[in-house]
Amino acid sequence: MLKVIELFAGVGGFRLGLEATKGFEVVWGNQWEPSKKAQDAFDCYARNFEGKGIHSNEDIATVNASNLIDLNPEVIVGGFPCQDYSVARSLSGEKGIQGKKGVLFWEIMRLAREIRPKYLLLENVDRLLKSPAKQRGRDFSIMLASFNEAGYSVEWRVINAAEYGFAQRRRRVFIFAVRNDSPYVHTRKMIGHSRMLRQEGFFAGAFPVTDELSKHKPSEFELSSDLVFVSDHFSANYNNAGIMRNGVVYTEELIPKEEKPTTLGEIIESNVDAKYYLSKGAIEKFKYLKGPKKIERTSASGHKYIFSEGGMAFPEPLDKPGRTMLTSEATTNRSSHVIEDPETKQIRVLTPVECERLNGFPDNWTSGMSERMRYFCMGNALVVGLIERMGQRILEIEEADKKAVSEEPQQLSLF
């Protein structure tokens, strides 16, 4: 069993996916919502995983890494917030790097440097690859340079869950970092970048791609080892897949070999409570929000412009996977799912259980908190089945690494 530390755990999506493989033990999980008295996500996590590992409800910046080293973790996982990752010289002007205060990625790097896990598996919104708008790709470049400095190789892939058989069109970037002294890195050092991404790498086995070539050209470049230079001056165009080894980055746009998705209709509940049905007034409001529109607006400088947006399906088609679920799900806004109930033919929003199913959680996983928080937590969660596939890949890599080590010629001692 590989021992795991789970950061920014939410309601435990990473843990559910890894534990489904029967090959991981989460020995410590941290979830803390700053500036909030109610810790709903942590309470849900602690309740569902009661008696299994240590559950931490504290600011990650205050966690002493030495206490975690004693747990012998080999994997760190987490879905961390998307923030501004800019860096600067230390206050004394020396070489030390000072990350922007409160940016939680630096806490991941702090723990990675001190604990030295063999693997890290992280998740974020796909716009991370392009942020910030004024220096495209800077933030992700800082992350890659940080992992390189810490002695890790990195692979990444933007994955739309529905393209691999799941019920939600949720696009997220997944980042797999592996320590450079591992057999996985050593045995693949002569394999070309594109072959790694398409056939031999971490994501290739679990999320196959076609042989088609995208209209976006691959690119290769070397990252500076000076994080301040990267922060101040570097920009890059990152495609939906890539690899970084020894500071050399290769990125390519891959086309998924799509699997038949689970449809919204397949996850719908029966005998739904009347409170989820919409009034005539609410239906009209949703029709407007989801319909096409052109509105004249005035900017802060007094400039007039036309705001326009296209129409959305209303109600949602039940023969397709759901759209990306947001934390505002079930409120009166454009992004909420609105369906025609197959039994009653009346218009309603999704139930909390249906939202859990969209992410692959067990029914009523989030029960015990308010309904508003249940929707919020599912809007923040990930698709559990994706993590199960990635966990299986890590176990396959572990088996291959053990075999590679056992087959290495043993050095003979002359004494």
* Angle formed at CA 53 by CA 51 and CA 59, multiple of 5 degrees: 115
Q: 71-81: per-residue pLDDT in tens?
A: 999 999 999 87
Find, among 149, 154, 148, 3, the residue nearest to 69 by Cα. 3
Once rounded to an integer, what is the mean pLDDT over residues 114-140? 94
Task: Calculate mean pLDDT across residues 404-410.
Answer: 75
Per-residue model confidence as pLDDT tens digits over 162-206: 999 999 999 999 999 999 999 999 999 999 999 999 999 999 999
Q: Give 310 or 36, the one with higher predicted confidence.
A: 310
Q: Tokens 């974020």 appear where? A: 124
Cα 407 from chain centroid? 35
H runs (alpha helix) in 179-223: 183-187, 193-195, 202-206
Secondary structure element (H or E) that encloses residue 124, with its range: strand 119-125
Residues 256-296: tens digit of each pLDDT: 999 999 999 999 999 999 999 999 999 999 999 999 988 88
**Residue 242: its pLDDT value, please?**
98
Examine the residue annotation and report whether 377 is marked as an active-site residue of this protein.
no
Question: Tell me, which fold does domain 264-380 have in CATH?
Answer: DNA Methylase; Chain A, domain 2 (3.90.120)
Query: CA angle, corner 373, sides to 370 and 375, nearest 5?
Result: 115
Cα(334)–Cα(293) distance, rounded to whole angstroms?
12
- pLDDT greater than 60 at residue 411: no
Q: What is the pLDDT of residues 319-336, one digit of tens each?
A: 999 999 999 999 999 999
Its pTM stands at 0.93
327-376 residue pLDDT tens: 999 999 999 999 999 999 999 999 999 999 999 999 999 999 999 999 99
- pLDDT for position 42: 97
Domain boundaries, the chain: 2-259+383-406, 264-380
For residues 297 and 399, which has the higher predicted lDDT (pLDDT)?
Answer: 399
- pLDDT at position 89 is 64
Banded pLDDT at 300 (limits 50, 70, 90): confident
Q: What's the confidence (pLDDT) of residue 410?
A: 58
CA–CA dist 210, 192 (Å, integer)? 17
* 183 close to 190: Cβ distance less than 8 angstroms: no
Query: Is residue 361 a contact partner of residue 381, using CB atoms and an 8 Å limit?
Result: yes
Q: With 0-12 CB in 10 A as exposed, 13-18 as middle and 19+ as buried, what is 302?
A: exposed
pLDDT above 90 as % of the chain = 83
Catalytic residue among 44, 82, 355, 377: 82
Q: Which residue has the higher pLDDT, 55 or 88?
A: 55
**CB-based contacts of 62: which residues, under 8 Å, 6+ apart?**
none
Q: Which pLDDT value is given to residue 360? A: 98
Q: Does the pLDDT value for residue 414 go beyond 60?
A: no
First-to-final CA distance of the chain: 37
> What is the rounded distance in angstroms from the CA atom of residue 95 to the CA atom of residue 227?
10
Helix (H, G, I), strand (E, B) or coil at 180: coil
Residue 91 pLDDT more than 90? no
What confidence score (pLDDT) does residue 97 get?
A: 55
Does the fold of domain 264-380 match that of domain 2-259+383-406? no
CATH of domain 2-259+383-406: 3.40.50.150
Please classify residue 394 by burial: count the beta carbons closer than 10 Å to its beta carbon, then call 0-12 exposed, 13-18 middle and 19+ buried.
buried
Contacts of 323 (CB under 8 A, 6+ apart): 168, 169, 316, 335, 337
Judged against a pLDDT cut of 50, whether residue 415 lies above it is answered with no
